[in-house]
Structure 1
Amino acid sequence: MSNPKSGLLDQILLEDIARYCPHQFLSFHNCLSKPDPDPDFCQSQQVELSKCIKRSVPSFQKIQNECRGKLQAYEACLKINNSKTEKCSQDLSDLRDCAFGTLK
């Protein structure tokens, strides 16, 4: 079952990413929407978008600062479980709840 807060959180973050990193966001989106995308080129576009998000998106920075412990717990769970997200659903839920709380 989908959490309505998750959808709203995703929407808030996407709007901020599009606002603060428009060039990188569009470049990555355009790369992925090609009929036969070049994985290496798309990867480089994703890296550039990630750098911009970390540097320029206030909502992401706020979440990183205020939810650092929850983020670290989720990352540790993924590492322990070989990136199997289904084993870390509670950590992800806790992180999303924290993130949503910072943006209300």
Structure 2
Amino acid sequence: MLRVGELAEGEGRTVQVGDRLIALFLHGGEYLAIDDLCPHQGASLGAGCVVDGAVSCPWHGWRFRLEDGKWADNPRLGVDTFPTRVVGEEVQVASSPRPSGEG
């Protein structure tokens, strides 16, 4: 996992949690986690650029909101989001996604 201070504001990183790849971001001083794989063609969202609370897929520019995982251009579609917490100096990400509808 990651330690507090290893991510700069607006930066993302791909981490493995169980058998899943998850994109972890520091945005607005909060750690947010979404599924790392863009549903369009499987690019790593952890490598994308964050602007206004959404990460852009580095391959084709699809934008996903970090807070709820919704596709910015069609909120009916999206990726899973994962609860995060800071314990001591460690940033922890849950291995199970949030239930749909919970941001």
Q: If the length of structure 2 is used for normalisation, what is the TM-score?
A: 0.28
Between Structure 1 and Structure 2, which shows a larger proportion of strand residues? 2
Q: If the length of structure 1 is used for normalisation, what is the TM-score?
A: 0.27
Higher RCO (C-alpha 8 Å, min separation 6) = 1
Asked which structure has the greater CA Rg, the reply is: 1
Between Structure 1 and Structure 2, which shows a larger proportion of helix residues? 1
